């Protein structure tokens, strides 16, 4: 088998993954696209390991061992990523990346003023902030 076949397949998988990361707005689809890119790298590692092992008589199969580490790291990454996406979806009600980007850049909602009076009937605890003012927090 030629080295070109898995290399071309890996390039196609990687390009589809890059397109998915750049074009998609859903966080779960972005995570799936990252997995496609990691699988393209794994395919290259195994293909080059097999290709280079033909030249040497005793091989260590380092490409296949590195692929196993990459698969383990990808599994941990997707588990943590999905947990973060689910937590954000519960709090924000959406997993749209553009809306999440607004909160990360500091475009917070306005602070409590006269137009938004605090909710009465909820027990609150006062905590002091760095500027000396007290901030009321609702406790459940």
pLDDT value of residue 13: 96
∠ CA(37), CA(38), CA(39), 5° rounding?
Answer: 90
Q: How far is Cα 39 from Cα 62, in angstroms, rounded to an integer? A: 17
Checking if the pLDDT of 122 tops 80, the result is no
Condensed to tens digits (0 to 9), the pLDDT of residues 92-121 reads 888 888 877 666 666 555 454 545 555 555
Condensed to tens digits (0 to 9), the pLDDT of residues 38-95 reads 999 999 999 988 888 876 766 778 888 899 999 999 999 999 999 998 998 898 888 8
Condensed to tens digits (0 to 9), the pLDDT of residues 5-36 reads 999 999 999 999 999 999 988 888 999 999 99
pLDDT value of residue 54: 73
Mean pLDDT for the stretch of residues 115-135: 57
pLDDT value of residue 32: 92
Checking if the pLDDT of 138 tops 60, the result is no
What are the DSSP calls for 79-117, one per residue?
HHHHHHHHHHHHHHS--BHHHHHHHHTT-PPPPP-TTSP
pLDDT value of residue 2: 86
């Amino acid at each position: 088998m030629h080295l070109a076949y898995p290399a071309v397949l890996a390039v196609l998988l990687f390009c589809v993954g890059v397109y998915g990361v750049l074009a998609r707005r859903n966080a779960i689809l972005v995570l799936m696209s990252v997995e496609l890119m990691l699988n393209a790298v794994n395919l290259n590692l195994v293909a080059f390991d097999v290709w280079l092992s033909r030249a040497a008589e005793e091989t260590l199969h380092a490409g296949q061992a590195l692929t196993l580490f990459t698969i383990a790291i990808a599994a941990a990454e997707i588990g943590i990523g999905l947990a973060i996406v689910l937590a954000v979806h519960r709090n924000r009600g959406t997993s749209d990346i553009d809306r999440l980007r607004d909160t990360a850049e500091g475009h917070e909602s306005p602070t409590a003023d006269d137009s938004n009076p605090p909710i009465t009937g909820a027990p609150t605890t006062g905590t002091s902030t760095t500027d000396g003012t007290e901030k009321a927090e609702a406790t459940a």
